[in-house]
Amino acid sequence: MVIEIAGKFYPTIGDLLKVPEGQRNGRDYIESKSGIFLITSSKIKTSSNGNKYSEALAVDSKAKSQVKIWDVVKGGSLVFAHYEYSSSYRSFSLEPVKIVDAVSVPDVTEKLIPHYEGIEELKRCLEYFIKSVKNEYLRSLLEVIFDKNGDFYGRFVESTAASRNHHVGRGGLLFHTISVAKNAANLLSNYPSIDRDLVVTGCLIHDIGKVETYTFGTEFSYTSDGKLENHVVIGIKMLARFIDKIPGFPKDLEMILSHMVASHHGSLEYGSPVVPKTPEAMLVHFADEMDAKLRAAIDALENVSDNNWSERIGFLGTDFFKFKEEES
């Protein structure tokens, strides 16, 4: 999706990734053109010689990649830069020509900002799952949380699910939530003793804390609350506030739901204060992990040619091969 600005054409990160790895030769390898990159999150670091640089996520509407930028660049920046690919490190480095606040050029930024399509259909899926819950307290809770006239609902459907790893972009949280619920629903038929209402409710609420964990707009980075508490703790607190709005909500149900939110990352080293201790909590965890990891792998292969390798995905600890059987 080459971007045209004032008669000049700039490749984006997706254009760079579409070129097979073995052909990413030299600086500005796409027709000797420098590129344009929307930076949605960034960490400032210092090299061994004392110079500052940025480890950042560069995105366009369909692709993303971790990059090293030889300058101090904040999330929410639009960077015009020379680029180079290192086959040794399997990563891109950028040398900025110009850095501007992405908000100051909304027409360009809107073309680049990652977003998920089919949001209206996803909203209908959310309605379906809520209506399918038979337990009156759980259904009432979901109706309160996802009240279309409430502030939370509007933010939820626009939120990103992460700043870097999976489902990054507008609508990413809704997309991920529905995918997790679908995963669990497909697995439930194998385990008839598991409480479907609890599982569906757990899937729909497991990441509600992310609405207050990440910023909106041109930058998908952590809020202060997100850094201090993380989305698991925030989600438990939000759940308690929503439950307080429902008279007579059973304490045992609140306990189980809080546990499902607390344990959905599966282990202490991955951010959960407790491991899953009910079959329902286990199923929510597995459905969540399946979607997050598979989506990251699928996204990594989106711009890779057949029978070739993706870049390394940090939180999965590997790169991925895009296999296509040769036609005889």
CATH of domain 3-112: 2.40.50
pLDDT band at 5 (very low <50, low <70, confident <90, very high): confident
User: What percentage of the chain carries pLDDT values higher than 90?
Assistant: 64
More confident residue, 82 or 20: 82
- Residue-level pLDDT at 198: 98
CATH of domain 119-300: 1.10.3210
pLDDT over 90 (residue 113) = no
> Each residue of 285-314: pLDDT tens digit?
999 999 999 998 988 888 777 788 887 888
Strand partners, 313: 318
pLDDT over 80 (residue 185) = yes
Tell me the HSE value of 106 on the side-chain side, using a 13 A CA sphere.
Answer: 1
pLDDT band at 247 (very low <50, low <70, confident <90, very high): very high
Q: Note the residue count of the chain.
A: 328
pLDDT over 70 (residue 328) = no
Average pLDDT of the chain? Answer: 91
**Which one-letter amino acid corresponds to residue 113?**
I
Query: What burial letters (b/e) apply to 256-293, b meaning 16+ CB within 10 Å?
Result: bbbbbbbbbbbeeeeebeeebebebbbbbbbbbbebbe
The predicted model gives 43-63 an average pLDDT of 91
The predicted model gives 131-142 an average pLDDT of 98
pLDDT over 90 (residue 161) = no
- Residue-level pLDDT at 313: 82
**Which one-letter amino acid corresponds to residue 2?**
V
- Residue-level pLDDT at 259: 97
More confident residue, 327 or 106: 106
- Residue-level pLDDT at 77: 94
DSSP per-residue codes, 58-102: EE-SS-EEEEEESS---TTEEEEEEEEEETTTTEEEEEEEEEEEG
Taking residue 158's Cβ as centre, other Cβ atoms within 10 Å add up to 17
The predicted model gives 181-189 an average pLDDT of 96
pLDDT band at 279 (very low <50, low <70, confident <90, very high): very high
Give the domain ranges of the chain: 3-112, 119-300
The predicted model gives 215-225 an average pLDDT of 81
Helix, strand and coil content of the chain, in percent to the nearest 5, comes to 45, 20, 40
pLDDT over 90 (residue 253) = yes
Q: Which of 47-51, 90-94, 240-244 has the highest mean pLDDT?
A: 240-244
- Indicate the range of 17-31, 53-67, 96-110, 214-228 predicted with least confidence: 214-228
pLDDT band at 64 (very low <50, low <70, confident <90, very high): confident
The predicted model gives 210-228 an average pLDDT of 85
pLDDT over 70 (residue 327) = no
